[in-house]
């Protein structure tokens, strides 16, 4: 199975780049399943229902989120209406929406996608992500109820991300980190066969501070005083993500490589998809 994960869409420039390029990527690379993190898609803060639906219409099978999931008030209302919209699974019981779901890939495979949020340096501090993941895996084990299992681990600390990868190694197909908006160079297949990358990066303008116009963040670091609102940068976007090939026989990863398309960062498409 060919899986593509795209990192946090930031603002109009990021989401538009994804919408424009994703249909062609699905066709050209013969992708079976696509997950996109959309928690920063609405001006850098949260996601609206229209943006979610447009991302699904562009070809995403699931849209994950993170700590900004509720920044747009309408998300509380629409989260429960769409199975393909995921918020972190370790929110307390009774939170709107769902944190995981079982979906069907284009090749007919059953794909479990789970969105979990870390706790180190993160706000709000949610329930234990490791216990949450354990419950998800117990309810839908790999190669029993699911042919592939994907975790979007939305977290700040790379140590927490790496430990989470080792925790589910051999029981999940792929663990990818989101939230820090900077692509890491540690894509690998762990000893148990789980593909792993600490952060997929963002889909947005890299002439920025994490996708936001750089002037206000820079001002706040220097003066410690806000001068205005944070605004999403509007320059040309680079699409960042990661591609994984998953064995139909075992549900574990066989290949992993980054995907980057656009200005500023060196463009790359996984060699095994060329």
- What residue numbers does the annotated binding site cover? 8, 39-40, 67, 154, 179, 181
- Alpha carbon distance, N-terminus to C-terminus of the chain: 15
Q: Decide if 166 is catalytic.
A: no
**What DSSP letter does each residue of 75-128 carry, written as one string?**
HHHHGGG-TTBB--TTSPTT-SSBSEEEEE-TTS-EEEEEEEE--TT-SS--S-
Q: How far apart are CA 90 and CA 79, in angstroms?
A: 15
Count of C-beta atoms within a 10 Å radius of residue 5: 26
**Residue positions in the annotated binding site for Fe cation?**
8, 39-40, 67, 154, 179, 181
Of the listed 68, 82, 123, 166, which one is catalytic? 68
Q: How far apart are CA 47 and CA 51, in angstroms?
A: 6
Cβ(152)–Cβ(5) under 8 Å? yes
**What DSSP letter does each residue of 217-274 carry, written as one string?**
HHHHHHHSS--S---B--S--BEEEEEEEE-TTTSSEEEEEEEEESSSSPPB--GGG-
| Catalytic sites, residue numbers | 68
């Amino acid at each position: 199975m060919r899986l593509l994960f795209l990192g946090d869409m930031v603002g109009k420039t990021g989401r538009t780049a994804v919408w424009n390029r994703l249909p062609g990527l699905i066709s050209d690379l013969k992708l079976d399943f696509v997950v996109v993190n959309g928690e920063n898609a609405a001006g850098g803060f949260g996601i609206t229902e229209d943006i979610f639906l447009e991302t699904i219409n562009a070809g995403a099978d699931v849209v994950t989120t993170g700590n900004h999931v509720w920044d747009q008030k309408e998300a509380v209302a629409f989260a429960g209406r769409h199975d393909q919209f995921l918020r972190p699974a370790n929110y307390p019981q009774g939170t709107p929406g769902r944190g995981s779901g079982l979906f069907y890939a284009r090749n007919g495979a059953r794909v479990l996608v789970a969105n979990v949020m870390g706790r180190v340096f993160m706000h709000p501090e949610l329930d234990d992500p490791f216990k949450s993941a354990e419950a998800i895996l117990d309810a839908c084990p790999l190669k029993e109820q699911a042919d592939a299992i994907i975790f979007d681990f939305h977290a700040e600390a790379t140590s927490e991300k790496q430990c989470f990868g080792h925790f589910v190694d051999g029981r999940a197909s792929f663990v990818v980190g989101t939230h820090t908006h900077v692509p890491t160079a540690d894509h690998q297949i762990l000893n148990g066969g789980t593909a792993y990358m600490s952060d997929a990066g963002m889909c947005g303008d890299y002439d920025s501070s994490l996708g936001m116009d750089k002037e206000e963040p820079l001002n706040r670091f220097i003066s410690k005083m806000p001068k205005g609102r944070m605004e999403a940068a509007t320059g040309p976007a680079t699409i960042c993500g990661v591609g994984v090939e998953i064995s139909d026989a075992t549900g574990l990863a066989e290949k992993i490589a980054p995907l980057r398309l656009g200005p500023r960062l060196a463009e790359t498409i996984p060699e095994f998809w060329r």
